[in-house]
Amino acid sequence: MTAEHEITLVVNGAARRARVPGRRLLSDCLRHDLGLTGTHVGCEHGVCGCCTVLLDGEPVRSCLTLAVTVDGREITTVEGLAGPGGLSPVQRAFAECHALQCGFCTPGFLCTVTALLRERPAPTDEEIREGISGNLCRCTGYQNIVKAVHRAAELLAEES
Amino acid sequence: MKPPPFSHHAPRDLGEALEVLAGAGPRGKVLAGGQSLIPMLNMRLAAPEHVIDINRLEELDTVEAGPDGVTVGALARHARVARAGVHPLLGQALRLVAHPVIRNRGTVVGSLVHADPAAELPAALAVLGGSVRLARAGAAPRDVAAAEFFTGPMESALRPGELAVSARFPALPPRTGTAFTEVSRRHGDYALAGVCAVVTLDDDLRVASARLACIGVGPVPLVVDLGADWKRAADAVRERAEPDGDVHATAAYRLHLAGVLARRAVEQAVERAIGRAAREAAA
């Protein structure tokens, strides 16, 4: 009764095929079927935000998405954020502002913030806090993450 | 923390979806945004044999605003409906639903069908007197009014084999203001208690009618019709609410909160109604 499904995901620009049961979470498909372990799995019920990836450019919880549901869609994981020139502006800002300590939550933050800055290139403190409210970080106390988002906005503005 | 095994169905159109649902009956569960269903699967609180995934039914990804109100299709995500900016109360409720990232996937109709007694959207539908349209294979769709739709905690009038295809949120009359207030332990969590209010003024800008819907204080949204007596909001809610206590808050604290939030919501709605009346008079 639980047939496997042949799916194709465009992950970080490359078409990837996988054979998955209906119940395979996108987070597990990325990590176990495709070997992309940059996407971290924390709570597996949508609270912590570690597993956030971009689905057609929009941040979503990969632990609350079935892989079969997104057959044929474009996924960007943390592995796909850096360009040919190295780290992305958001990644550089996080490093520069010390916006991570243990790093477990960081892939989710980077994906969320990348999308946030596309929608709001110069966000206010309040918009940043609302934007990252679905991502938990137990180390930083968030202050440096908010700073990093402002810094990333500057870097993006300089480069455009 | 992985979903139990199930058969996944991905129908391509509404007719096919209704056929599959009819075949699955009580062993089937509809997957739209999945922001409530997948946690329940992951935690093994639900174990349907068949998951009917409606994410390919683009015909249900609709937000239609008309003079009578807004009709939201079953695949319209929270974020999209909020961006459409088609109904003040719907916008105020959506800002309180979980987090932005969850709202990118979660659907308005899914939140209604999930019928969590602490969720915002059922209260918004209830206070406005809206309805949900239910479709089944081989029969005409039926519209169920909010007052009959929510039947208990996480329970609705949806029968096995039925699909909630849309929800209708009636438009606000002139000189009307709305507000949604809630208190939760953490930003984006389900509220300990919350209240939404709809207030309509008469020609002399006095309150003609005030209606509230409270969440977190009973098995379904509690609708309180205050008539013109809006200043009794806190007492009226405390007389009728019967909250349960749990690890997050005692029943007495929830009752206290509901009263305070009712007063705040109705005052804010009155203020907005005055503002809107002034704008309407100027237009």
Q: Which residues of B touch A55 (CB under 8 A)?
A: 104
Q: Do A69 and B38 touch (CB under 8 A)?
A: no
Q: What is the pLDDT of residues B267-282, one digit of tens each?
A: 999 999 999 999 999 9
SS3 content of chain B, % helix, strand, coil (to 5): 35, 25, 35
Compare CB distances from B5 to A5, A21, A112 and report the shortest one's residue. Answer: A21
Q: Is the pLDDT of residue B93 over 90?
A: yes
List the end-to-end C-alpha distance of chain B, in Å, as a whole number: 56
What is the ipTM for the molecules in this complex?
0.95
- Joined together, the tokens standing for residue B207 give 């309150």
CB contact under 8 A, A3 and B7: yes
Residue type, A101: Q
DSSP letter, residue A66: B
Chain A residues 4-63 within an 8 A CB cutoff of chain B = 5, 21-23, 25, 28, 44-46, 49, 52, 55, 58-61, 63
Question: pLDDT of B117-171, one tens digit each?
Answer: 999 999 999 999 999 999 999 999 999 999 999 999 999 999 999 999 999 999 9
Q: How far are the Cα atoms of A48, A59, A117, A121, A149 from residue A154, in angstroms, in the given order?
A: 27, 21, 10, 9, 9
Looking at domain A4-80, its CATH superfamily turns out to be: Beta-grasp domain (3.10.20.30)
Asked if B5 is an interface residue toward chain A (Cβ–Cβ < 8 A), one would say: yes
Helix (H, G, I), strand (E, B) or coil at B57: coil
Is residue B263 over pLDDT 80?
yes
Instruction: Count the residues in chain A.
Output: 160
Distance from CA of A10 to the nearest CA of B (A): 18
Cβ A23–B6 below 8 Å, yes or no? yes
Helix (H, G, I), strand (E, B), or coil: what is residue B214? strand
Sign for the CA dihedral angle at B112, B113, B118, B123 comes to positive
pTM: 0.96
Q: Tokens representing B110?
A: 């899914």
Integer Cα distance of B206 and B220 in angstroms: 31
Distance from CA of B82 to the nearest CA of A (A): 15
Homologous superfamily (CATH) of A89-159 is [2Fe-2S]-binding domain (1.10.150.120)
C-beta atoms of A44 and B42 within 8 A: yes
- What are the tokens at B141? 């769709």
The letter for the amino acid at B122 is P
Strand order across the beta sheet in which B7-9 lies: B7-9, B50-53, B28-31
Task: Using CB atoms within 10 Å of the CB of residue A79, give its burial: 0 to 12 exposed, 13 to 18 middle, 19+ buried.
Answer: middle
Q: Are A65 and B31 in contact (CB under 8 A)?
A: no
The distance of Cα B251 from the centroid of its chain, to the nearest Å, equals 23
| Domain-wise residue ranges, chain A | 4-80, 89-159
User: pLDDT tens digit string along B186-212?
Assistant: 888 889 999 999 999 999 999 999 999
